C-alpha cells in the first residue's frame, strides 16, 4: 500500500507550492502595527499611572522647555513642555484617551444607524431598499467635512459635538456594506430554516444575519478608527473640536502651531502620536481582514 502511494506521488509530482504562491497564501502578522496599537492601548489604560505629571498643571516658569536631549532640556520633562509649562509627555499620554473616546463614540453612533439601515435595506428589498440606498447616495455626495463643520458651528464646538456630527455624517459606508452582506446572507439556507421555524423578520435580522456580518464590521471599524482620529484631530486643529484645556492631539497641534518656528516639539510629538496610532490601526485592520476572511487572500 505504502509503495503504491509513493508511485502516485511520483506520477503526479506532488510538489510543495512554489514560493510565490506560498507567500500569497500566508498571512504575515503585523508586529509593528500590533506594537503601535499595544502602545496606544497601554497609554489609554494606564494613563494615570505612567504619566509623570498632571497634564493640566501649568508652571509658567518652565514654559516651552525643549525635550531632554536638546540644549536646555531636562530629564524631568522628557518631551519638553508647552507654552504654559505643561508636561508634553503627560499630555500626549492623556490625549490617547480622548482619541479613543471620540472614535468609539462616533462609531457607536454611525455604526448603529448604518447597520440598522443596511439590514433593513438588504433584507426587505424592493422599494424600501431603493429609498434607503438613494438616501445613502445623497448623503455620500455631500462632502463629509462640510456637513461636520456645519453641524459643529451650529451646535457649538466641543468633544460631544464632534462625536455627534461625525456620527451623523459617517453612516453611509456602513449601511452599504451591511446591505451587501445582508443581500448574500438572506439567500442562505439557514435563513430559510429560520423562516420555516416561524421566526419573524426582525428576529432573523437580529439573530441570524447580523452576527454573520460581525467579521466585516470588525475590520471596517478598525480601519475607521484611524480615519476618525485624523478627522477629529483636523476639527480640533480648526478650533471646532475639543476645546482647551483638554488634552487632545489635534488641539495640541493647533496650539503649538504659532510657536513652530522656535519650539518644534510642540507640533512634532502630537503629530507623531497621531501617525503612529493611525498606522497601528490600519496595519491591524488589514491583518484582521485577511485572517477573518481567508477567501479574500486567495483571490
Binding site for another protein (CB under 8 A): 125-126, 188-190, 192-200, 203, 207-208, 211-212
In this structure, how many other beta carbons lie within 10 angstroms of the beta carbon of residue 69? 8
Provide the CA 112 distance to its chain's centre, in angstroms: 16
Report in angstroms how near the CB of residue 173 gets to another protein at its nearest: 23
Judged by beta carbon, residue 202 or residue 260, the one nearer another protein is: 202
Report in angstroms how near the CB of residue 292 gets to another protein at its nearest: 13
Report in angstroms how near the CB of residue 130 gets to another protein at its nearest: 12
Angle at 217 between CA 148 and CA 290, to 5 degrees: 120
Report in angstroms how near the CB of residue 177 gets to another protein at its nearest: 18
Q: Sign of dihedral through CA atoms 96, 99, 102, 103?
A: negative
Q: Is 116 exposed, middle or buried (0-12, 13-18, 19+ CB in 10 A)?
A: middle
For cell 462609531, name the residue. 107
Judged by beta carbon, residue 89 or residue 204, the one nearer another protein is: 204
Judged by beta carbon, residue 34 or residue 199, the one nearer another protein is: 199
In this structure, how many other beta carbons lie within 10 angstroms of the beta carbon of residue 19? 8
Measured between alpha carbons, how far is 41 from 55 in angstroms, rounded to an integer? 18
Q: Is 197 exposed, middle or buried (0-12, 13-18, 19+ CB in 10 A)?
A: exposed
Judged by beta carbon, residue 152 or residue 219, the one nearer another protein is: 219
Q: Do 80 and 73 contact (CB within 8 A), yes or no?
A: yes
Judged by beta carbon, residue 1 or residue 196, the one nearer another protein is: 196
Report in angstroms how near the CB of residue 203 gets to another protein at its nearest: 7
Report in angstroms how near the CB of residue 188 gets to another protein at its nearest: 7
Judged by beta carbon, residue 18 or residue 189, the one nearer another protein is: 189
Amino acid at each position: 500500500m505504502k509503495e503504491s502511494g509513493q508511485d502516485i506521488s511520483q506520477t503526479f509530482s506532488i510538489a510543495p507550492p512554489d514560493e510565490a504562491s506560498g507567500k500569497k497564501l500566508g498571512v504575515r502578522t503585523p508586529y509593528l502595527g500590533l506594537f503601535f496599537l499595544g502602545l496606544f492601548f497601554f497609554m489609554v489604560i494606564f494613563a494615570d499611572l505612567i504619566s509623570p505629571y498632571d497634564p493640566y498643571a501649568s508652571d509658567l516658569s518652565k514654559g516651552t522647555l525643549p525635550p531632554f536631549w536638546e540644549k536646555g532640556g531636562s530629564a524631568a520633562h522628557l518631551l519638553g513642555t508647552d507654552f504654559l509649562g505643561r508636561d508634553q509627555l503627560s499630555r500626549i499620554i492623556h490625549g490617547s484617551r480622548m482619541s479613543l473616546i471620540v472614535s468609539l463614540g462616533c462609531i457607536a453612533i454611525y455604526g448603529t444607524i448604518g447597520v440598522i439601515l443596511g439590514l433593513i435595506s438588504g433584507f426587505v428589498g424592493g422599494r424600501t431598499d431603493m429609498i434607503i440606498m438613494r438616501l445613502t447616495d445623497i448623503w455620500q455626495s455631500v462632502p463629509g467635512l462640510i456637513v461636520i463643520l456645519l453641524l459643529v458651528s451650529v451646535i457649538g464646538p466641543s468633544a460631544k459635538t464632534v462625536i455627534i456630527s461625525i456620527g451623523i455624517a459617517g453612516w453611509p459606508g456602513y449601511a452599504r456594506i451591511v446591505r451587501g452582506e445582508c443581500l448574500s446572507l438572506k439567500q442562505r439556507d439557514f435563513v430559510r430554516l429560520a423562516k420555516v421555524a416561524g421566526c419573524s423578520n426582525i428576529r432573523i435580522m437580529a439573530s441570524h444575519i447580523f452576527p454573520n456580518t460581525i467579521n466585516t464590521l470588525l475590520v471596517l471599524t478598525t480601519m475607521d478608527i484611524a480615519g476618525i482620529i485624523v478627522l477629529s484631530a483636523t476639527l480640533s486643529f480648526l478650533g471646532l473640536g475639543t476645546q482647551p484645556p483638554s488634552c487632545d492631539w489635534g488641539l495640541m497641534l493647533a496650539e503649538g502651531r504659532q510657536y513652530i518656528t522656535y519650539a518644534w516639539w510642540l507640533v512634532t510629538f502630537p503629530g507623531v502620536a497621531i501617525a503612529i496610532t493611525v498606522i497601528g490601526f490600519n496595519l491591524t485592520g488589514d491583518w484582521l481582514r485577511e485572517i477573518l476572511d481567508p477567501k479574500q487572500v486567495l483571490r
